Amino acid sequence: MKRLSSLTIICTLAALLLSGCAPKTAAPLKALVVSGQNNHNWPVSHQALKLILDNSGLFSTDIALTPGAGGDMGTFTPDFSVYDVVVLDYNGDNWSEETNAAFLEYVQNGGGIVIYHAADNAFTEWEEFNKIIALGGWGGRTEKDGPYCYLKDGQLYKDFETPGPGGNHGQQREYPMHCRNAEHPVTKGLPDGWLHAQDELYDCLRGPANIKDLLYTGTSDATTGGSGREEPLVFTVDYGKARIFHLAIGHAGENLENNPAMQCVGFQTLLLRGAEWAATGNVTQEVPEDFPGSGATSLRPEYR
């Protein structure tokens, strides 16, 4: 066999590189986490979100923090257009008209959005935002903002008849998650039922209810202050060209070390899969071996 010289090998590799035939490593997807105000513990949640995203190796994540309550929102002008996905961890003062317009342009041009937990409490009076989240709570939401939405006889039901405020949750607890669409890229391969770590379970949400794909629900326990109904917790939103993933679970704890809802492997997996789907329309991730089953929770305290 003829042995190639070192010079020949180097020249061959150089030619492959120049021709574009050499193996390529995909660059991480660009993610932006928007935070800075919230009635929840945003100093913990936005850090945890970044750790989960970046530690996966799939994302390179920037943080955009608004001024504090009452601050000058004119200084908050992120360039949404340079990101593959925007993760909203925000519930506070209205943004400026300029920023609202830039955000809407991004979404309406087909941008990827993740609505995380209390971000669905934000911007009650912003009609387009309420269409982007499909369902929201608190902030004075009532029947004027849309129906309650929950499972009835196994089907998603829009309750236009019952008046009352939007947004409630019972005591924090561990609870089972019930899969409603096993074929969606986000849920494909995940268990039909698994035990989520201690968390709030949002119920009585209201809004336009333009849910596209209902992915997971949970039973809101009436004995612990819940609605007694099967509530939508994870879903996609029907809003033009945009890919919008709504993840209503994941209440932040007191610090990164005591943060079971966000340390839950189920939560982290859904965040990563939902963010990748919102960014690309596909999910390339395998189901992790430590994904929780129906009998016990599973935590990743290091967010990786």
pLDDT digits (tens, 9 = 90+) for 94-148: 999 999 999 999 999 999 999 999 999 999 999 999 999 999 999 999 999 999 9
pLDDT at 65 over 70: yes
Nearest-angstrom CA–CA distance, 176 and 105: 37
pLDDT at 4 over 50: no
Residue 17 pLDDT? 40
> 111 near 82, Cβ under 8 Å?
no
**To which H or E segment does residue 65 belong?**
strand 59-65
Residue 7 pLDDT? 45
- Count up the domains in the chain and report the number: 1
291 lies in a domain? no
Task: Identify the CATH number of the domain in which residue 247 sits.
Answer: 3.40.50.880
Least confident range from 6-20, 27-41, 256-270: namely 6-20
**257 burial class (0-12, 13-18, 19+ CB within 10 angstroms)?**
exposed
Beta strands per DSSP E along 208-302: 211-219, 230-237, 243-247
Residue 24 pLDDT? 42
Residue 19 pLDDT? 39
Nearest-angstrom CA–CA distance, 176 and 297: 10
Mean pLDDT over the full length of the chain: 93
pLDDT at 14 over 60: no
Question: For residue 184, how far is the Cα from the chain centroid?
Answer: 15
**pLDDT tens digits for range 19-33:** 344 334 589 999 999
**pLDDT tens digits for range 43-64:** 999 999 999 999 999 999 999 9
Q: Tokens 């945890």 sit at which residue? A: 48
**pLDDT tens digits for range 270-288:** 999 999 999 999 999 999 9
**pLDDT tens digits for range 184-233:** 999 999 999 999 999 999 999 999 999 999 999 999 999 999 999 999 99
Banded model confidence at residue 88, pLDDT cuts 50, 70, 90? very high
Residue 15 pLDDT? 45
Residue 25 pLDDT? 55
53 lies in a domain? yes
14 lies in a domain? no
198 lies in a domain? yes
pLDDT at 10 over 50: no
- Domain interval for residue 95: 26-280
18 lies in a domain? no
298 lies in a domain? no
**272 burial class (0-12, 13-18, 19+ CB within 10 angstroms)?**
buried
2 lies in a domain? no
Residue 26 pLDDT? 80
DSSP reduced 3-state for 195: strand
According to DSSP H, which parts of the chain are helical?
6-19, 42-55, 97-108, 127-133, 260-263, 265-280
Look at 13 and 153; give whichever has higher pLDDT: 153
9 lies in a domain? no
Q: What 8-state DSSP symbol labels residue 112?
A: E
**pLDDT tens digits for range 232-245:** 999 999 999 999 99
Q: Which residues are paired to 34 by β-bridges? A: 64, 88
